[in-house]
Structure 1
Amino acid sequence: MADDDRLRTVDEHLALVLDGIGTIDPIELTLLDAQGLLLAENVRSDFPLPSFDNSAMDGYAIRAIDTREASAQEPVSLRVVGDIAAGASSRSGMGPGLAMRIMTGAPIPAGADAVVPVEDTDRGMAKVAIRRPVHTGQFLRRAGEDLAAGSPALAAGAALGPQQLALLAAIGRDRVTVRPRPRVIILSTGSELIEVGQRPSFGEVIDSNSYMIAAAAKDAGADARRVGIVTDDHAKLLDALESQLLRADVLVTTGGVSMGAYDVVKEALSELGTVEFTQVAMQPGKPQGFGHLGNKIPIFCLPGNPVSSLVSFEAFVRPAIRKLLGKRSLQRATVKATALEGASSPFGVRQYRRGVLHRESAGGYSVSFVGGPGSHLLASLALSNCLVIVDEETTEVVSGTEVTVLPLLLSNR
């Protein structure tokens, strides 16, 4: 519990968490490994883009002045003196009254200043009839018109999506320095837990939390890994955590943080003096633990009930991961929706209810509740696509009123 008996608010606990989250040193990655990350360097182009004047169309390279009298009724005839394919390694040349067949992307020959699209000609081989005039520079891509040599291509902080990776490749960068994905290690605690694939005996529970939190961490942008189950044993828990310190940027445990007599996580980590266990004015997810291990590695100790665990992740761990990634938006965007039914909520507590968010045909959103407030109801959690947030001052949600909804959509975002 915190020093005083007052429950810490969600916002207060989140502020404490974010204040305890540092940074990760940038690393150099190949382009495809850098997808979805933020650039940690300013990138300039060493050469112009395009790097040479080239044709924007399949057609004929010509001098624009030679086509000034062309019309459909009286085409201009020019002698064709060669072909230029895309990828040509040397630059051709031509003079007045001549034309050269040219492919899209092929270099413009010396002496030419425009391209006539093939559809505006008779497609002649030795001579070509041009049916309309073109202007100087028409259907050309000038060297450097997209990006001049030495000019900025992308600034530090740019998010690297497909189009940014394409630009980096086009200017010859096969590796870039980025803010890396934080390595998030997840451990489930509890002697009652067994691995997926085993059939539970009486009193045993299959571990689902580590899969859920690992998936949520990946969705937030982390490199997430579960390392299995740790039984309710002080030494085994501390050994398991210590073994992961060199592999982790963030540690997450689930279970063992409530007021029970066998809550080993709370008891063991409290002895280290680096993790504070407190109670937050939220439902579910009241018991929370946060601190640091080893070389200031943040550790989150989340409740063991699955709904509590996911709500706690969304409220505290996801923003921490996003901060480590360098993202400007640390939390999911909320929307307003019309409640299709009523619900009650305790005063002074921020309640998170599972819901199904609907997009209305007339515009806007509506939301219906799924399951009750119980934090163990995993099946109803799986049916939900959002969390309905009931603020601390509201004790009753009335059907037809507007509520705040946190969509649980895949990011990526």
Structure 2
Amino acid sequence: MSRTQPSNGALTSLESALAALLDGLAPIAPSQLPLDRALGRIAAEMPSLAHARPARNTAMTDGWACRALDLAGASAYSPLPLMAVPVWVETGDAMPEGCDCVLEIDLVDSTGPIVQALAEAVPGQGVRRAGEDMEAGGPIVIAGQRLTAVDLLVARSVEVGELAVRAPLVHVIDVGAASGETFTAHLVADSARASGATVSDIETVARDTASIAKALDDRACDLIILIGGTGAGRADATAEALAARGALIAHNIALQPGRTAAIGRLDAVPIIALPGAPDQALAAFLALVQPVIDRLSGRSARRDATLPLARKISSTVGLAEIALLKQGQDRWEPLAIGDFSLDAMRLADAWLAIPSGSEGYPTGTSVGAFALRDPR
């Protein structure tokens, strides 16, 4: 791939920048993680379930295991004598041979010399049938999906102690630390972890070309993210350092916020340099970093939620703009576009990328937005 930088003043479209980052990028090899470390990771392919669950009919509630046919006609007004005392079962117990239903504790009277049923039942009442939870041959986890607490419950129920996941290793280099902007690096690192990646550490480097370029050496990782030093200030040397290493693909993206972001590649490892301001870093993370992590982790396409806009959104033609939205009563309420306050960032439920060729959307337009919290 060619390493070229637009001329001064030129902007690279978001679409072109993203295509360059994803070009030839494949999901990483899966690894095994114990269940207590797998939550939030992206599941990889695993062998199918060998046996159906449960293996036998089991009780769904505490009570008396009976045969439904033996209870025909029983009621509180006309108790039915039983030939033998039913077997007591607890939730999860295997059903005794010949029993196909469970009666609650107060529906069998065993206080007298003759045990009596006080209610009828239908076959299967209070019973989870064999194979009803999971069929043999089905997947233990859904490859490409983010692992949730329910996925871990399923794994434990089938006695699986480790899950196959793809968790890209991300190295974060904080160029903005010298200006006291370390909180932005933590924002990015935390966002990467929430996307299913593993962050090795946050390295702090001086804001000069040689130091930044040296920090790129010998990084055994799947993605490098630099924070800060991407602007046109005298101390902004990140893009220059990428160019010095022959890694720069583009600097200055037609993206708002996040225009000064830069992208590159060192051998097969993609590099994304984000601005040091929190709102610009967040927008560029959503637009550039998150798709790369998704590709590396083999994640399925993210689900968007489509709702009408509570009010119009105006956008600048020629720039892809990121809007933050809050979900109201069946509508998206725009909070910010092109410039985010911390308040808007913490209150937002979802985000929307407005294409560079659009002037925005009128009130009532249905738009698909991606969740910011607990995304599936």
Deviation for aligned residue 1:338: 3.5
Alpha carbons 1:388, 1:403 under 8 Å: kept: no
1:53 counterpart residue number: 57
Query: Using the alignment, how far apart are the partners of 1:127 and 1:188 within structure 2?
Result: 80
Seen in structure 2, the aligned counterparts of structure 1 residues 110 and 226 have a Cα distance that, compared at 3 Å, is: closer
Deviation for aligned residue 1:3: 7.5
2:155 counterpart residue number: 168
Seen in structure 2, the aligned counterparts of structure 1 residues 50 and 317 have a Cα distance that, compared at 3 Å, is: same
1:103 counterpart residue number: 89
1:315 counterpart residue number: 287
1:278 aligns to 2:264 (yes or no)? no
Amino acid at match of 1:357: K
Seen in structure 2, the aligned counterparts of structure 1 residues 324 and 74 have a Cα distance that, compared at 3 Å, is: same
Alpha carbons 2:57, 2:94 under 8 Å: kept: yes
Q: 1:351-372 CA deviation, whole Å, 9 max, x = no partner?
A: 346x563614xx42333548xx
Seen in structure 2, the aligned counterparts of structure 1 residues 115 and 213 have a Cα distance that, compared at 3 Å, is: closer
1:91 counterpart residue number: none
Select the structure of larger CA radius of gyration: 1
DSSP-derived class of the 1:99 partner: coil
Query: Using the alignment, how far apart are the partners of 2:303 and 2:213 within structure 1?
Result: 31
Pairs within 5 Å for 1:316-335: 316-330=288-302
Query: Using the alignment, how far apart are the partners of 2:210 and 2:74 within structure 1?
Result: 90
1:359 aligns to 2:359 (yes or no)? no
1:409 counterpart residue number: 372
1:208 aligns to 2:176 (yes or no)? no
Alpha carbons 1:185, 1:227 under 8 Å: kept: yes
2:76 counterpart residue number: 72
Alignment coverage as a number of residue pairs: 369
Q: 1:168-199 CA deviation, whole Å, 9 max, x = no partner?
A: 222221112222x2222222215xx44xxxxx
Query: Using the alignment, how far apart are the partners of 1:283 and 1:139 within structure 2?
Result: 58
Amino acid at match of 1:308: Q
Structure 2 residue runs without a partner (length 5+): none
Amino acid at match of 2:111: G
1:178 aligns to 2:165 (yes or no)? yes
Query: Paired residue for 2:17, among 3, 13, 17?
Result: 13
Amino acid at match of 2:375: N
Q: 1:59-94 CA deviation, whole Å, 9 max, x = no partner?
A: 33344444335343432223xxxxxxxxxxxxxxxx
1:188 counterpart residue number: 174
Amino acid at match of 2:140: L
Deviation for aligned residue 1:210: 0.7
Give identity over the alignment, percent. 25
Alpha carbons 1:211, 1:226 under 8 Å: kept: no
Pairs within 5 Å for 1:148-159: 148=135, 150-154=136-140, 157=143, 159=145
Amino acid at match of 1:323: R
RMSD: 3.6
TM-score (norm 1): 0.74
Query: Which structure is richer in relative contact order (CA contacts within 8 A, separation 6 or more)?
Result: 2
Deviation for aligned residue 1:43: 3.5
DSSP-derived class of the 1:152 partner: coil
Query: Using the alignment, how far apart are the partners of 1:136 and 1:402 within structure 2?
Result: 51
Amino acid at match of 1:275: L
Amino acid at match of 2:356: E
2:242 counterpart residue number: 269
Query: Using the alignment, how far apart are the partners of 1:65 and 1:402 within structure 2?
Result: 59
DSSP-derived class of the 1:217 partner: helix
Deviation for aligned residue 1:99: 2.5
Structure 1 residue runs without a partner (length 5+): 79-96, 195-203
Query: Paired residue for 1:120, among 78, 86, 107?
Result: 107
Alpha carbons 2:66, 2:87 under 8 Å: kept: no
